[in-house]
């Protein structure tokens, strides 16, 4: 069984919060076969997602809320994941600006060096949940995970899943050939309805097609309303919780010392 991570496991330059499984939802205080990696949106902080981490109350799951590495300029407050800062014609911060540095940091320092090598988790045990720009980064992490996981067993070179709230795969990079070139990490994209209105959703039909060019298993759930923010009610949250329920692992009822055959 893997060892639940603590702050001492991670490089000191990373800013993150750790939410352990609640005792009421776990077999023991140390039972945590799953990792949920929460990535905030542009202009936010990891601390602001700590309430969400507690509210999810996922069984046997340690939630890591990671803060983006770069503060926004001009005293805008918050942090961003991008390699650069650009503005849209409307004057908004552009979400899709390339994420090579953040992607490498998350894969190498957070997942491979810490969760896999130090704590004993497998790629399949790790689910990424990103909001806005954080969702786009989560998809980048999943599609590039194989590239950075040299020395990791072939069966561990896919993640357990990605939930992206309001973001498809970005425009950077060339799509792989169909079939074996695609990532087999399951993906759920959640977004507002696409009604043709200006800025109704960042997840356009083209964005969905682009995501399906990179991933073999993609689900898309759209709200009945416009806007790509977090789910506002139980109906909007249900597809997310159903996806997580399918992807999370459980050791309840499994004798200690048992070996998983895969």
Instruction: Examine the pLDDT at 199 and tell me if it is beyond 90.
Output: no
Q: In this predicted model, what pLDDT tens digit does every residue of 4-14 receive, in sequence order?
A: 999 999 999 99
228: left (phi > 0), else alpha (psi -120 to 50), else beta?
Answer: alpha
Greater pLDDT, 233 or 27? 233
E strand map for 47-167: 61-66, 70-71, 79-80, 126-131, 161-165
Domains and CATH numbers, the chain: 7-247 (3.40.50.1820)
Instruction: Examine the pLDDT at 24 and tell me if it is beyond 60.
Output: no
As a whole number of angstroms, the distance between CA 203 and CA 211 comes to 10
Buried/exposed code over 225-255 (b: 16+ C-beta within 10 A; e: otherwise): eeebbebeeeebeebbeebbeebbeebeeee
Task: Please give the pLDDT value at position 75.
Answer: 78
Q: In this predicted model, what pLDDT tens digit does every residue of 55-87 receive, in sequence order?
A: 998 989 999 999 999 999 877 789 999 998 887
From the list 257, 236, 206, 254, the residue with the least C-alpha distance to 96 is 206
Task: Please give the pLDDT value at position 8.
Answer: 97
Q: Which two tokens stand for residue 11?
A: 């490089």
pTM (2 d.p.):
0.89
From the list 169, 161, 171, 137, the residue with the least C-alpha distance to 69 is 137
């Amino acid at each position: 069984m893997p060892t639940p991570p603590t702050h001492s496991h991670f490089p000191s330059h990373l800013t993150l919060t750790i939410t352990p499984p609640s005792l009421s939802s776990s077999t023991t205080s140390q039972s945590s076969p799953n990792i949920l990696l929460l990535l905030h949106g542009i202009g936010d902080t990891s601390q602001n997602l700590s309430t969400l981490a507690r509210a999810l109350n996922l069984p046997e799951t340690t939630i890591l809320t990671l803060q983006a590495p770069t503060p926004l300029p001009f005293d805008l407050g918050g942090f961003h994941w991008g390699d650069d800062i650009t503005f849209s014609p409307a004057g908004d911060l552009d979400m899709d600006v390339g994420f090579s540095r953040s992607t490498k940091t998350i894969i190498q320092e957070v997942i491979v060096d810490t969760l896999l090598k130090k704590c004993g988790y497998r790629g399949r045990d790790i689910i990424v949940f990103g909001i806005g720009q954080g969702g786009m980064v989560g998809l980048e992490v999943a599609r590039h995970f194989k590239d950075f996981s040299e020395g990791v067993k072939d069966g561990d070179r896919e993640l357990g899943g990605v939930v992206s709230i309001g973001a498809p795969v970005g425009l950077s990079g060339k799509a792989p050939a169909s079939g074996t070139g695609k990532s087999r990490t399951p993906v759920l994209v959640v977004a507002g309805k696409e009604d043709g209105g200006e800025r109704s959703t960042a997840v356009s039909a083209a964005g969905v097609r682009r995501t399906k060019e990179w991933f073999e298993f993609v689900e898309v759930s759209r709200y009945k309303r416009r806007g790509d923010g977090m789910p506002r009610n139980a109906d909007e949250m249900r597809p997310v919780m159903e996806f997580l329920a399918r992807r999370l692992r459980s050791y309840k009822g499994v004798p200690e010392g048992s070996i998983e055959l895969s």
